[in-house]
Amino acid sequence: MDIKDMVYQGRIKVPYKWSVGEYGSRFFGEIKDNKKIFGTRCRNCNKTYIPPRKTCPDCFLPIEDWVEVGPYGTLITFTIVRYSAPLHPLPAPFAVGVILLDGADTGIVHIIGGTDPEKIHSNMRLRPVFREKREGNYLDISYFEPLNP
Q: How far apart are CA 124 and CA 73, in angstroms?
A: 8
149: pLDDT confidence band, cut at 50, 70 and 90? low
pLDDT score recorded for residue 3: 64
Quote the CA–CA distance of 47 and 105 in Å, as a whole number. 6
pLDDT band at 108 (very low <50, low <70, confident <90, very high): very high
Q: How far apart are CA 16 and CA 33, in angstroms?
A: 25
How would residue 1 be classed by pLDDT, with cut points 50, 70 and 90? low
pLDDT tens-digit readout, 124-138: 999 999 999 999 999
Percent of the chain whose pLDDT exceeds 90: 79
Average pLDDT over all residues of the chain:
92
Residue scoring higher pLDDT (15 or 66)? 66
Model confidence, pTM: 0.85
